[in-house]
Each structure stands twice: as C-alpha cells, then as structure tokens.
Amino acid sequence: MPLEAGLLEILACPACHAPLKDRTAAETPELICTGADCGLAYPVRDGIPVLLVDEARRPE
C-alpha cells in the first residue's frame, strides 16, 4: 500500500533532512533517502514509516 502523497511531501530523512523517495511497491517496502552522502533506507511496517536511524539500512 503506497503512502499518501501529502505525507511523503512532509517526511524527511532524520539523519540528513533530505527528502525521501517511496519504494513501497517493492517486496520489502521502504523509504529511501535522496541525500547524496546518506542514502539510508527506512522500513515501512504495516503502512507506517519507521524513521529511526537505528532501524535504517545502508543500501548496497
């Protein structure tokens, strides 16, 4: 289930404050940081973004 466009517009990466890109259509839904030096991937569980740096993963 994709996130609402209005919600995605106001969410930002907690680590670097860059906008997030929605990847909820993937097998494991997540929000990807668009920051050039950051790029963390935050999980989306049951339609709720988990924006905790400790829960994020570094994409390969």
pTM to 2 decimal places: 0.85
State the Cα angle at 26 between 25 and 27, rounded to 5°: 125
* Domain annotation covers residue 60: no
* Domain annotation covers residue 42: yes
CA 29 to the chain's CA centroid = 9
* Domain annotation covers residue 28: yes
- The domain tally of the chain equals 1
Beta bridge partners of 58: none
Structural domain that includes position 35:
5-55
Least confident range of 2-6, 27-31, 41-45, 50-54: 2-6
Higher pLDDT, 6 or 49: 49
* Domain annotation covers residue 10: yes
CA 57 to the chain's CA centroid = 10
CA 59/CA 21 separation, integer angstroms:
13
* Domain annotation covers residue 13: yes
Q: Is the pLDDT of residue 55 over 80?
A: yes
Beta bridge partners of 43: 30
Say if residues 49 and 31 touch (Cβ distance below 8 Å).
yes
Per-residue confidence at 30, pLDDT binned at 50, 70, 90?
A: very high
Q: Is the pLDDT of residue 38 over 80?
A: yes
